[in-house]
Structure 1
Amino acid sequence: MPIRSARPVVMTALATKTQPVEDPLFAPLLAGDRRALARAITLVESTREDHRERADALLTALLPHTGRSVRLGITGVPGVGKSTFIERFGLHLIEAGHKVAVLAIDPSSKRTGGSILGDKTRMELLSRQANAFIRPSPAGTTLGGVARRTREAMLLVEAAGHDVAIVETVGVGQSETAVADMVDMFILLLPPSGGDDLQGIKKGVVELADLLVVNKADGDLARAAQRSASDYLNALRLLYPVSAAWMPEVRTCSAVEGRGIAEVWDAVGRYRAAQGEAGIARRRGVQARAWLWNEIGETLMAALRRHPEVKRQLAALEHDVETGALAPSAAARRILGTFLGR
């Protein structure tokens, strides 16, 4: 992606009012430098206030260089073969001349807060490719297993020249709308199943999907995969499509054998053609507005928890709620009153 000659000025923590300084990550990131990209993502994921200010300035300057990628979200139940599928899919795209970025969200432990962050080891072949960038991030406490800064990381990989951005989520859950609200196309990966197993797939997740892909269509499971695809297609006819311009498709593939991968990419192309540039732009506009309000909510919650007087009262109020001495709604009003100075 060419670097514009009239580049925006990015203010850093070292800048003065009279001598603005371009962020040192700006030029190398636009040139596709992997180290600069990794450092920029680390910067936007930081919770330090000075880092946040620098990240906001960097992102603002990079915005004119973003938005040119195909944004895909991929989810599915654990064990369905997401990592194997994404690796095969990514290798196919690279062979076709694309640059691929994978933002893989690892689950964080609710007990320790830690995460494995092992996606590079699960996508070993893809991680070796010069035109591939894999970034595992901890899900933290964000609903749906999508890191809070995933949207910003997507902008950064776009600015670095990656024309396909893939977000891999933790798995199927009630808040998978989080990934659907940040990508152009939402792909649901499914195992060969049928009958009662079909009932186990959450209707809400299926309703969000623009493309359903039944994986593991090989060996003894090949016929089961075809039956499953037929079952899912029949089920989709009972649901309202996400977009009036597109009826969700159902495909089968074998990520292990590499069969059906090209057909999935073809389906992505058909989807984008059906939506058109105006449709994609409209969807991204709605997503940006949702991003704004999500950021407001997350920032306000963080500020509330840091408030000195709220911190002083919180333990006692939580104890009263736990013991039944105080209704949660009443405790919430007291906390908010303290935060707002009422």
Structure 2
Amino acid sequence: MHFFVPKDDNFDISNHSKTSPPTTNLYGLPNQYKLEKKVAPISTYPIADFLAGIRAGNRSILAKAITCIESKKEEDKAFAKALINACLPNSGNAKKIGITGAPGVGKSTFIETLGVQLLTQGHRVAVLAIDPSSQSSGGSILGDKTRMAQLAAQSEAFVRPSAAGETLGGVARKTREAIVLCEAAGYDIIFVETVGVGQSEVAVHSMVDCFVLLLLPGAGDELQGIKRGIVEMANFLCIHKADGTRLPLAKEAQRAYRSALHYFPTPTHGWQPEVWHCSSTAKEGITDFWERISQYFEHLTKSGFLLQNRQEQALYWLEQTIEQELKQKFYRHPSVASNWEATKAVVLAKSLSPFDAAEQLLAIAFPSLDKKK
């Protein structure tokens, strides 16, 4: 079967020649898969065709593949797992950069300005977002493509909003899987933007090679209020919006942060975190900052830490996924659910310790493990 790529990526996989595409369904696949009144589920398409579209760099197919990853339908989950495994051999070639900072610091503007510049250098840029939005709002407040309209409009760029209505663990896992798909699609630079609320920084740090913390001009209270853990994770601190009357404040903040970083231990990879300042609106300092980031990647590659860190991240996500899956299976167990309220009651009545109660419920959910003690 021929895999037709829709819209601007008008390409026929079978003969590598330009061709006029047939009328396609919403997934950009031939109409033989389209039902009379609705589009067939993503999971009904052959994985080989989806894989061909992703490897061809088709953004429409890539977006639909990520939608499948985000789906809660069991058939889509099975399809997504198979697709991720098929894409793994084509992953690992991109530079993954996490961007964090408080709301209003200009993360999206920074990414868009740098991203557009990188496109002119022949790079292909993807932008993903980590935003564990609330279940009640049902929507993501970060990653809206309209905030990066110029970048999203470029044929060699891909901007993807965060999955809405997800917990941090769910969003983080799906973002990591989306990274694999983006790498398989040929994007060699991937930005992961975080809302900057605390735990999301840890999630982003565990899936990128370089972590950038954006800050606003001005030292003093901001320097004292920043969380030490976030600073320790950062490879680069960058004072953003350093232009006009804010430039002197930015330089002052830069000196203050540089002084403060002397009290932090040297990272295991040997690269001491650096402090820069730049302005996306004035387009000043962006080029020099990127050159330094490129030198950082060269250092990681030569030292062997880039590969080592990626291997450690893979094992981290292995352990995290096991913990999350076990927790979900535990609470979904019928006997656990039926005994949950009674267990809480005896614990609150001090008839049973929380530790003993937990062990009893675990024995109910996982009896085979309990027998091996």
- TM-score bin (small chain): 0.7 to 0.9
Which residue does the alignment assign to 2:222? Answer: 197
C-alpha distance in 1 between matches for 2:223 and 2:359:
43
Which amino acid in 2 is paired with 1:314? W
TM-score (norm 1): 0.87
Which residue in the other structure is 1:253 paired with? 278
CA shift, 1:13, in A, is 6.7
1:333 to 350, 353, 359: 359
Moved more, 109-118 or 298-307: 109-118
Equivalences for residues 1-342 of structure 1 within 5 A: 22-109=47-134, 111-116=136-141, 119-138=144-163, 140-142=166-168, 147-174=172-199, 176-276=201-301, 278-318=304-344, 327-341=353-367
- Secondary structure of 1:251's match? strand
Matched residues in 2 for 1:105 and 1:209: separation? 17
Alpha-carbon distance, 1:303 to partner: 1.6
**Structure 1 CA distance, aligned partners of 2:191 and 2:350?**
46
**Letter of the aligned partner of 1:338 in structure 2?**
I
Query: Larger RCO: Structure 1 or Structure 2 (Cα < 8 Å, ≥ 6 residues apart)?
Result: 1
* Range with greater deviation from structure 2 (42-51 or 266-275): 42-51
1:57-76, Cα deviation, whole Å (9 max, x unpaired): 21111111111111101111
Distance in 2 of aligned mates of 1:206 and 1:84: 21
Work out whether residues 131 and 200 of structure 2, in 8 Å CA contact, stay in contact via their aligned partners in 1: no
CA distance, structure 2, for counterparts of residue 309 and residue 240 of structure 1: 49
Q: Deviations over 1:30-67 (max 9, x none)?
A: 00111110111112222333322222221111111111
Residue identity matched to 1:219: G
Contact kept in structure 1, 2:237 and 2:274, CA below 8 Å: yes
Counterpart of 2:150, as a letter, is L
- How many angstroms apart in 1 are the aligned matches of 2:180 and 2:47? 18
| 3-state DSSP of counterpart to 2:180 | helix
Please tell me whether the aligned partners of residues 174 and 204 of structure 1 are also in contact (alpha carbons under 8 angstroms). Answer: no
What are the Cα deviations for residues 230-289 of structure 1, in whole angstroms up to 9, with x where unaligned?
111111111013234311111101122221111221111110111125221111011111
Q: Residues of 2 paired with 1:56 and 1:260: CA distance? A: 41
**1:181-201 Cα deviation digits (max 9, x unpaired):** 111111111111212221111
TM-score, normalised via structure 2 length: 0.81
Query: Residues 304, 121 of structure 1: CA spacing in aligned structure 2 closer, same or farther, 3 A cutoff?
Result: same
Distance 2:119 2:348 in 1: 54
SS in 1 for 2:140: coil
- Residue type at the aligned position of 2:329: A
**More displaced, 191-200 or 68-77?**
191-200
Name structure 1 gaps, 5 residues minimum.
6-11, 16-20
Name the CA shift for 1:153/1:309 in 2 (closer, same or farther; >3 Å).
same
C-alpha contact 1:75 1:172 (8 A) present in aligned 2: no
In the TM superposition, residue 131 of structure 1 has moved relative to its aligned partner by 1.0
Amino acid aligned to 1:246: W
Is the contact between residue 172 and residue 204 of structure 2 (CA under 8 Å) also seen in structure 1?
no
**Greater Cα shift, 153-162 or 269-278:** 269-278
What is the identity percentage for the equivalent residue pairs of Structure 1 and Structure 2?
A: 46
Whole-angstrom CA distance in 2 between matches of 1:117 and 1:82: 10
Change in 2 beyond 3 A, CA 1:60/1:118: closer
In 1, Cα distance between the equivalents of 2:361 and 2:345?
A: 14
Contact preservation (8 Å) 1:146, 1:178: no
CA distance in 2, matches of 1:321, 1:28: 55
The separation in 2 between residues aligned to 1:286 and 1:68, in whole angstroms, is 17
Q: How many matched pairs?
A: 327
- Report the alpha carbon displacement of residue 325 of structure 1 after superposing the two structures with TM: 7.2
Structure 1: how far apart are the matches of 2:143 and 2:210? 25
Cα offset, 1:300, TM superposition: 1.4
Larger radius of gyration: 2
Offset, 1:319: 5.9
